[in-house]
Amino acid sequence: MIGYVTLGTNDMETSAKFYDALLAELGAKRFMEADTFIAWATAPDQPSVAISKPADGKVATVGNGVMVALMAENPQQVDALYAKAIELGATDEGAAGPRGEGFYAGYFRDLDGNKLNFFCMT
């Protein structure tokens, strides 16, 4: 049901490099780009993740309680994606592993402090 998620950034170049490398692991690539935003998807008609400078011109800040969850195929892919995020400079918010019955996830914060996770149902 989600069409796209946009995350604020204060450093487009650094954030773009982070997401280029991380989302490539899911087969996603840039499909829309302008001076103030970049969006990645596995196909133009699939849900996407975007980074953007805030439209109001103010500093991008992290939304308290906001988190983006990106679906993976299996626990091994969650492990690999979580490790890739950490390798790229993300900070740990909960190592990849089981989170109750039937749910497996790894939580991290991107370079701007936005909270994300990769998850799968097991």
**Confidence at residue 100, expressed as pLDDT on a 0 to 100 scale:** 86
pLDDT exceeds 90 at position 64: no
CA–CA dist 46, 111 (Å, integer): 25
Residue range 55-72: mean pLDDT, rounded: 92
Instruction: State pLDDT tens for residues 74-117.
Output: 999 999 999 999 999 999 999 999 998 999 999 999 999 999 99
Domains plus CATH for the chain? 4-54+67-121 (3.10.180.10)
**Confidence at residue 46, expressed as pLDDT on a 0 to 100 scale:** 95
**Confidence at residue 60, expressed as pLDDT on a 0 to 100 scale:** 93
Least confident of 10-14, 60-64, 85-89: 60-64
Other beta carbons within 10 angstroms of residue 73's beta carbon come to 9
> Which helix (H) or strand (E) segment is 114 a member of?
none
Instruction: State pLDDT tens for residues 20-42.
Output: 999 999 999 999 999 999 999 99
Predicted TM-score (pTM) of the model is: 0.90
Residue range 37-52: mean pLDDT, rounded: 96
As to burial, measured by CB atoms within 10 angstroms (0-12 exposed, 13-18 middle, 19+ buried), residue 13 is exposed
Is there a contact between 82 and 94 (Cβ–Cβ < 8 Å)?
A: no
**Confidence at residue 71, expressed as pLDDT on a 0 to 100 scale:** 95
As to burial, measured by CB atoms within 10 angstroms (0-12 exposed, 13-18 middle, 19+ buried), residue 42 is middle
